[in-house]
Structure formats: C-alpha cells, structure tokens
Amino acid sequence: MRQLFDKFSGARESFWFLPALMTAGAVALSFVTVELDDKLTWSGLGNGPFGNVASADGARTLLATIAGSMITVASLTFSITIASLSLASSQFGPRLMRNFMRDTGNQVVLGTFIATFAYCLLVLRTVKGTEGIAFVPSVSMVVAVLLAMSSLAVLIYFINHISMSIQATRIIATIGQDLSEIIDRLYPDKRTEEDDLGFEEDQNWEPEGESRRIYSRRSGYILRVRYGDLVDIARESDVVINMPHHAGQFVPKGAMIAEVFASAAPGEDEEFNGKVLDAIALGNERVAGRDIEFFIDQLVEIATRALSPGINDPFTAMACIDQLGASLRLLSERKLPAPNHRDEDGRVRVHARSQTYEGAVGAAFNLIRQYGQTSAPVSMRLMETIAVLAEYAPDPEHRETLLMHARMVQTGAAAQMSERVDIEALQDRFDAVIEALEAESAPAAG
C-alpha cells in the first residue's frame, strides 16, 4: 500500500497526470452531453432546449475552429513552459525544474486546452447533416463554447502566472514556504523543558554484542525509512538495528545500509535482510517528503549560483539567507526526533541517524559562507542572520553552533575581502556580533 501511495505521489507531481485526468473527464462529458442531445431530439424538442443554434455545416466549422485553436494554444503553452524550465535550470539550478513541473497551475492550464480539444473532437464526429439525417448537438455545442471561453480565461491566467513564477524573489519565497511547511509537518511538536531533560537519555546508545552488516542491493537516495517496521523486525529477532544514514543521503550499491547487533554472533539471514531492505525505500532522485535538507539545498544552490563571478547577484543570495534564517528559527523551536526507537517494553531496537539542528545549520550556511567570502553585503547578512537565530535559540548547544559559524564567517571574510572594502569597519561589526553571541553562550559554558 505504501509503495502504491509513493507511486501515486510521484505521478501527481508529474506533468502528465492532471492533464490526463482532465482529458478523461472531457471525454466522459462529451458522451454525456451528446446522449442528452440525442434524448432531447427524440423527445420532440428539436435539437435541444436552445433550438437550432447552427446548421450541420456551421456546427462542424465552429467545433473544428475551437479544436484547432485549442491544440495550437496547447502547443504554444507547452513551448513557453519548456522555455521557462530551461531558464530556471540555467539560472537557478536543475533541481528547480521539479518545482515547475509540479506546479498545479501549469498542469491545469495544459489540461484545460487538451481537454477542450478532445471534447470538441469527439462531439464533432456526431454531427450529421446528410439528406434525411440531421443531428446538431446544440447542448454539446454550447458546452464547447463555454469551454472555449474558459480556456481564454485560463490563457490570460497562464501569461500572468508564468511571468510571475520565473521571478527570483517569487521562487525563493515559494521554496522558503515549502521548507517551513515540511518542518511543521515532520516536527509539529514544540520543545519543552521536559524534552530537554530527557534528551541525553534518548541520544545515548552503546552497541552491545556481535554485529554484522546489511548491504544495499542497489544504488539510490534514501526516500523513506519505516522505523516502525524496523522496530517490529528487530523485536521479533531480538536484535538491535543501527541505521547510519537518514533520508536524503545517497547509498551506493554494495555499501552498508544497516548494521545488526545481537548478544550472539548473528549469522547471515537472507529473509531477515530482505525485510530490513524492504523497510528502506530507495529512489533515483531525492524527494521532499521526509528530507528538510532537500529544500535547504535548493535555496543554497540558488544563492551560490547568484554569487558566481558570471552572475554576481548578492541580492538574490541575501534573499536566500533570509528564508534560510526564518526556517532555521522555526526548526530551533521544534522537538526533533530522537535517534533511539524503542519497542513496547522500552528497549532500544533501532538506532538511527536523525536530523539535527547542527546539521541543518551547516547545510544552510557552509557553501554560502565559502562562496560569499568576497562579498561584504552577503557576509554581513550571514552575521546578522546568525545573531537573530542565536537570540531566539532555546538550546545552549544551538548557540555554540551559531557562534562557530559566525567565527568562520569572520575569518573567511577577513582573508578574502578586497581592498575596496573598509575591512576595519566590517570587522568591528563582526566583532560586535560575535561578542553578543559569546555573551549568550557564556551561561552554557559555566
């Protein structure tokens, strides 16, 4: 069932699924309206409740005109969409293409044009105007005209939507919103003092007994790990499973994907290995379902491309930093999953490498810091964002992590800044931020 759901989710984000559904709906609608016209004709109501709206030749001309114009506009829409995808891929990175393809607005636009074309084509075949036989489906023609007018409105929407969707600020804001939403979905609970007190117990785990490794049978990115299934598998065999990778990481074929610990030396068990591997979903590309670093990497890629010498756009990079800062602040308030997964008796059955705040901060700032060392505005925005995060960070360890990144920003900027920048003034601002961070971290050190 889960595999079927994964396939459905993948199809839902593709560019063909929604247009195919809309086209199927248009085919069904054509049969319904033609059947209605046929019943109205045999009931003695002429060619429908609207009367003879057209002759057979006129109906054919109208339907053929609508169908021809719809397929032309659909081709034009597809060409514009492909051009937008090429622009996004070259300017913002190939990973952004997935965002455009799963855009519901683009799918609805393309589906509307193709569905209208299919509807008119199927209605056109029912028009009869030979001698002795006359059938003009007036209800179906009225529906075709309404669909054509709706397609015109959709075309106007598409022109506005595609012009807005390729703007850098709009793309960055959309990714930032997706990042905040996945944080809310994966980590809905806010941290409390009780969570902080029990955090060390949940973190600590010492492997006991002999171990053996389970190797991946294929290469791919970890899409999802069903820890509940792994706990049941480990409990049934009275072992502990160690998962060294988390969702989003790449595992090559033949590499260790899990490690099994038991009181006695565990022997090779192909059935057990198969159950463990079935609980770990691998794919050819990363997905956003269980991996917050997927969206972090998208923002980082946009920022690093903007900071490349060929583009040199610090404003786009600073917009990415703002969105990353907002999401990291949200993450710092949430209860992250403990790496230890226990069975009903409270025994640790699965130890997993889970998402950490330190890992998210590193993924967000490391590359931008390195690429932005020669840009004073970018380095300063990084320092300001780190200072704001430290102000609201509830955990002393979080503030220590932020202080470490602030010092690295200061060191890298001092080594790379050109003589055109007032280094002394910039260093004074850096020193003020670091002093404030050290003051925040002082209670933790004491």
Task: Specify whether the backbone of 174 is left (phi greater than 0), alpha (psi in -120 to 50) or beta.
Answer: alpha
User: The pTM is what?
Assistant: 0.81
Concatenated DSSP letters of 27-41: HHHHHHHHHHHHHHH
CA atoms 70, 72, 75, 81: torsion sign: negative
At 132 the pLDDT is 62
At 200 the pLDDT is 45
At 411 the pLDDT is 85
At 418 the pLDDT is 56
Concatenated DSSP letters of 166-215: TSHHHHHHHHHHHHHHHHHHH--SBP-HHHHHTHHHHH-----SEEEEEE
At 262 the pLDDT is 84
Instruction: Tell me which amino acid residue 184 is.
Output: D
Q: End-to-end CA distance of the chain: give it in Å, rounded.
A: 52
Pairing of strands 348-352, 340-342: antiparallel
At 202 the pLDDT is 56
* Residue ranges, the chain, pLDDT below 50: 1-2, 5, 44-52, 197-201, 444-446
- Residues near 3 by beta carbon (within 8 Å), at least 6 away in sequence: 281
Q: Supply 189's token pair.
A: 């609970």
- Residues near 386 by beta carbon (within 8 Å), at least 6 away in sequence: 365, 402, 405, 406, 409, 433, 437
Euclidean distance between CA atoms 426 and 93, whole angstroms: 31
Are 180 and 288 contacting, i.e. CB atoms less than 8 angstroms apart? no
CA angle, residues 202, 208, 214, in degrees to nearest 5: 95
At 424 the pLDDT is 65
